Amino acid sequence: MAKLTPMMEQYIKIKAEYKDAFLFYRLGDFYEMFYDDAINASRELEITLTKRAGGKGDPIPMCGVPYHSAENYIRTLIEKGYKVAICEQVEDPKTAKGVVKREVVQLITPGTVMETNMLKEGENNYIASLSHFNDGSYVIVYNDLSTGENHIALISHGWDAVIHELYNQPIKEIVISSNLPDDMQLQLQDRLNITLSYQDEVTFNAEYRSLTENLNDERLMKAFSRLLNYIQHTQKRALDHLQKAKVIKLKQYLSLDMYSKRNLELTETIIKKGKHGSLLWVLDKTATAMGSRMLKKWLERPLLNENQIEERLEIVDGFYRGFMERDSLRDILKSVYDLERLAGRIAFGNVNARDLIQLKRSLQTIPELKNTLYQFNRKEINSLADDLISPDHIVNLLDGSLVDDPPISIKEGSIIKDGYNEQLDTYRYATKNGKKWIAELEKKEKQETNIKSLKIGYNRVFGYYIEVTKANLHLLPEGRYERKQTLTNAERYITPELKEKEELILEAEEKSIDLEYRLFIEIREKIKNHIPELQHLADVVSKIDVLQGFATVSEANNYKRPQFVESKLNIKNGRHPVIEQVMKDGSFVPNDISLDESKNILLITGPNMSGKSTYMRQLALTAIMGQIGCFVPCDDADLIIFDQIFTRIGAADDLVSGQSTFMVEMLEANHAIANATDRSLILLDEIGRGTSTYDGMALAQAIVEHIHNNIHAKTLFSTHYHELTTLEDSLSNLKNIHVRAEEHEGNVVFLHQIKDGAADQSYGIHVAKLAKLPDPLIERATAILQQLEAEDKPKPITEKMDSGQLSFFVDENKKVKKEKQPANSDKVINDLKEMNLFEMTPMEAMNELYRLQKEMKQ
Ligand code: ADP
Ligand code: MG
């Protein structure tokens, strides 16, 4: 059998080491891909799949992308979560014996990209690592290579908590041990949509010493080493800009499980998966990309410590009141470039002179920024100013060395200022002098030959030449110059003197370009030593930016500073921060809310579409806004600091996710019950909707009772089971409230007002009428309803039970009726009872009524 060609043999050998990446194999002006890589890449990149004879057997599938436009293709693959290994020719093909030597020079992965155009400005790009330990704990490390930040979190309470923590973080890639159980790997990949990478080596490398000084737990060290080893092995890059690992103590933050992060639409909406319509969208009035990234982080981790919250609120308050100063502050911030990512790129050595000029301009604003901050009459703001240390040495270095408007390339000169380097000045002087000499020569030759159009030009191939048009050739004395080139209507000449000068000029030019490049690298290296300063600066500037953004949005939307109290939560005229903005016309109806120890469960009834869900979510969002240090949407707020927020949103509202099974509903409820404390907030929105009426109602009641008797968490509970409103009699800490709707000329009008007590009607038929169902049908439904209401409906058992014991529903009528009524009538009545009008479209209601009527007529 024929053998593979040597080149394909080389390919296969290299590919074996990069099985999980697309291998971009350099061949002349192309990167080629073969076999499965080719088939997959042609599909993902929509490029043509071809074939190539490889020496053995069938032709090999192949496709390729031009070297010059490879970046776009790479970006597409990375965005789709793939990795790309760049394999270059590492010896000169002309002198190579046999197959040109090739090596992978870079592995580009979703978590390690640094190229500005592959990163989202206002979002972190994390590569994380996950390690599990025999004691059942997990450690997550977050690293953003573009900014250098490192965060470490220890999770000691199980795998579920890991998923809740990772959910919704901008993690593009996660480095794990190959021993992590398969089902966990699958969850990371499929449920969280993160690219997996493996690194089993977790030994600690002494090089990391400075990054890990503050880690005094071996588990944290190992987890951090896993990540750093991976980055070093695959990226072969400097890690100079990485910051010391910050340990995130999850217990110090308000914990939001993944359901809440999702249901409350904190940073993205459920349906469109975008920022628009989320709380972040409303609150993001930051002026810099750094600020925007920090705000997102704050939203993911609201604070628990009252002093820290108050410190932020003090600053926001100061910014809020100092309107004029805040305006100038915003203007200054707008001119600050992304210092954080710039620092990262300086460390990696991929900045050009223009970037450094932007750095200089950003740093030049610091003194002004400080001054502006000192103008606010607030000590917390002034201490932010103290914390901004103007890096004059960097500014001076950059200002003294780089021209103001350098080219993009750092290899073509025109970067360094005159007077910065003596040698460079000498070269430049030589060049300049040479050019002056040439200009003078031109003048002199013109005069002596009397040829006015004589000129001295330059091109890359021939260098300097004297050009005389054919029409003037007769004026030129024989033998004055040496002929070099003939054009259609001119001759070009040189002289030994001219060549000599040319050599001097070119040599000086070449040397000065070389020198400029070296000087630039030197400057860049010098700045590299100041990266921690830049990172600190970036951190303070981001914080200022987020807080001025809070002041700006609070003023624009009329938010109020909350007070934190021990036990009695009280919000006057609260609003939903997002819906209020979406409605724009100011027609949002504000509502009060009050929860304390004696009444910590509110049971909310009211017709569909009246505003129950809105009311519940607005409390959670208000609490979160308060705990990140922002003002809140209301006239006055006494808030308590919640330790955790849980949400369970009913199946019918959950259609979009496509996974609204009753099981998910119960899982979420269980998650709340298992973890909530008396400092937590639980939102249960129409729980029990995903199953049959009795089932659902039984579970709903049992859950409320359990929370009431055992957990004592602040709870909002909305339900369409009117029967549950009688719980107020048996559960002393439960209070009924309802959303008011009014009947007006037989129609229902939603007022969106919350009132004490239970809703008295279901309004379902009115909603059907609003939907313009035929009048006879509505009349018939009204009659049926009256008949049903006349009969005894099932009532929940409300007598006291041993805590934790389930209650059951009895329907005495059922047995009795069975004997009296014809079989189909029994079934029709039952069907009618079970029918959930709130969940039906008008058409479904119509069909159902039609069917029931038909059955009765039989
Ligand atoms: P429910 O949960 O009772 O079915 P929602 O809370 O989903 O009702 O509210 C339905 C719609 O009513 C919302 O999308 C919003 O447009 C409007 N709405 C709710 N609350 C208010 C309010 N307080 N003021 C004005 N409109 C409201
Ligand atoms: Mg609802």
Architecture of domain 284-390+541-557: Orthogonal Bundle (1.10)
Q: What is the pLDDT of residue 746?
A: 65
**Torsion sign (Cα): 164, 169, 173, 175:** negative
How would residue 763 be classed by pLDDT, with cut points 50, 70 and 90? low
Q: What is the pLDDT of residue 599?
A: 94
For residue 750, the CA-to-ligand 1 centroid distance in Å is 9
Measured between alpha carbons, how far is residue 238 from residues 92, 118, 207 in Å? 27, 20, 11
Q: For residues 497, 502, 503 and 504, what is the CA-based torsion angle, rounded to 10 degrees?
A: 90
Q: What is the pLDDT of residue 796?
A: 54
pLDDT at 850 over 80: no
For residue 326, the CA-to-ligand 2 centroid distance in Å is 39
pLDDT at 570 over 80: yes
Round to whole Å and give the CA distance between 393 and 526. 11
Q: What is the pLDDT of residue 653?
A: 52
Q: State mean pLDDT over 773-787.
A: 84
What phi and psi values does residue 120 have, to the nearest 5 degrees? -85, 130
The half-sphere exposure of 823 on its side-chain side, counting CA atoms within 13 A, is 0
Winning range, highest mean pLDDT, from 390-394, 560-564, 854-858? 560-564
pLDDT at 629 over 90: yes
Q: For ligand 1, what atom is nearest to the CA of residue 582?
A: 16
Q: Is the CB of 250 under 6 A from ligand 1?
A: no
Could you tell me which of 360, 390, 380 has the C-alpha nearest to residue 544? 380
Q: For ligand 1, what atom is nearest to the CA of residue 587?
A: 25
How would residue 823 be classed by pLDDT, with cut points 50, 70 and 90? low
Q: What is the CA radius of gyration of the chain?
A: 37
| From 456-460, 512-516, 577-581, the region with the lowest mean pLDDT | 456-460
The tokens describing 7, both together, are 């080149």
Question: Best of 579, 603, 753 to mutate for ligand 1, by most ligand atoms within 8 A of CB?
Answer: 579
pLDDT at 800 over 50: no
Is 417 exposed, middle or buried (CB count within 10 Å of its CB: 0-12, 13-18, 19+)?
middle
The half-sphere exposure of 168 on its side-chain side, counting CA atoms within 13 A, is 25
Round to whole Å and give the CA distance between 270 and 275. 10
**Listing from the earlier edge strand, what are the strands of the sheet with 21-27?**
50-52, 60-66, 30-34, 21-27, 83-89, 102-108
Query: Using an 8 Å Cβ cutoff, are 740 and 815 in contact?
Result: no
For residue 504, the CA-to-ligand 2 centroid distance in Å is 82
Contacts of 338 (CB under 8 A, 6+ apart): 121, 288, 289, 290
* Coil vs helix vs strand at 745: coil
Contacts of 69 (CB under 8 A, 6+ apart): none
Q: What is the pLDDT of residue 691?
A: 67
Q: What is the pLDDT of residue 657?
A: 47
pLDDT at 821 over 80: no
Q: Is the CB of 609 under 6 A from ligand 1?
A: yes
pLDDT at 162 over 70: yes
Round to whole Å and give the CA distance between 624 and 630. 9
**Proximal ligand: closest to the CA of 652:** 2
The tokens describing 199, both together, are 């690194």
Q: State mean pLDDT over 11-30.
A: 94
Q: What is the pLDDT of residue 810?
A: 37
The half-sphere exposure of 172 on its side-chain side, counting CA atoms within 13 A, is 26
**Proximal ligand: closest to the CA of 604:** 1
How would residue 811 be classed by pLDDT, with cut points 50, 70 and 90? very low
For the chain, the average pLDDT equals 88
Cite the annotated binding site for ATP by residue number.
606-613
For residue 754, the CA-to-ligand 1 centroid distance in Å is 11
How would residue 236 be classed by pLDDT, with cut points 50, 70 and 90? confident
The highest-level CATH class for domain 121-248 is alpha beta
Could you tell me which of 549, 550, 541, 551 has the C-alpha nearest to residue 321? 551
Residues in the chain: 858
Q: What is the pLDDT of residue 468?
A: 93
Round to whole Å and give the CA distance between 736 and 29. 74
Q: State mean pLDDT over 721-731.
A: 89
* Residue 602 DSSP one-character state: E
Q: For ligand 1, what atom is nearest to the CA of residue 686?
A: 2
Q: Is the CB of 612 under 6 A from ligand 1?
A: yes
pLDDT tens, position by position, 496-543: 989 998 988 999 999 999 999 999 999 999 999 999 999 999 999 999
Architecture of domain 422-524: Orthogonal Bundle (1.10)
Q: What is the DSSP string of 88-139?
A: EE-S-TTT-SSSPPEEEEEEE-TTT---GGGS-TTS--EEEEEEE-TTS-EE
Q: What is the pLDDT of residue 808?
A: 36
How would residue 795 be classed by pLDDT, with cut points 50, 70 and 90? low
Could you tell me which of 172, 110, 119, 114 has the C-alpha nearest to residue 142? 172
Which of residues 634 and 211 earns the better pLDDT score?
634
Round to whole Å and give the CA distance between 299 and 144. 18
pLDDT at 126 over 70: yes
CB neighbours of residue 212 within 10 Å: 19
Domain 6-108 maps to which CATH number in 3.40.50.720, 3.40.50.300, 3.40.50.150, 3.40.1170.10? 3.40.1170.10
Could you tell me which of 703, 705, 709 has the C-alpha nearest to residue 687? 703
For residue 678, the CA-to-ligand 2 centroid distance in Å is 25
Which of residues 213 and 753 earns the better pLDDT score?
753
Closest residue CA from atom 25 of ligand 1: 588
The continuous run of DSSP H or E covering 245 comes out as: none
The tokens describing 679, both together, are 């400092």
Q: Is the CB of 617 under 6 A from ligand 1?
A: no
pLDDT at 170 over 80: yes
Could you tell me the CATH superfamily of domain 563-762? P-loop containing nucleotide triphosphate hydrolases (3.40.50.300)
Q: Is the CB of 554 under 6 A from ligand 1?
A: no
| From 105-114, 425-434, 822-831, the region with the lowest mean pLDDT | 822-831
Q: Is the CB of 147 under 6 A from ligand 1?
A: no
Long-range contacts of the stretch 256-259 (C-beta < 8 A, 24+): 256/300, 256/302, 256/624, 256/644, 256/645, 257/164, 257/644, 257/646, 257/671, 257/675, 258/163, 258/164, 258/167, 258/168, 259/646, 259/647, 259/648, 259/649, 259/668, 259/671
pTM of the predicted structure, to 2 decimals? 0.82
Cite the annotated binding site by residue number.
606-613
Contacts of 59 (CB under 8 A, 6+ apart): 51, 52, 53
Q: What is the pLDDT of residue 2?
A: 60
- For residue 310, the one-letter residue type is E
The tokens describing 104, both together, are 């992978």
Q: What is the pLDDT of residue 661?
A: 63
* Coil vs helix vs strand at 716: strand
Winning range, highest mean pLDDT, from 192-206, 435-449, 617-631? 617-631
Could you tell me which of 59, 70, 58 has the C-alpha nearest to residue 23? 70
Which of residues 378 and 668 earns the better pLDDT score?
378
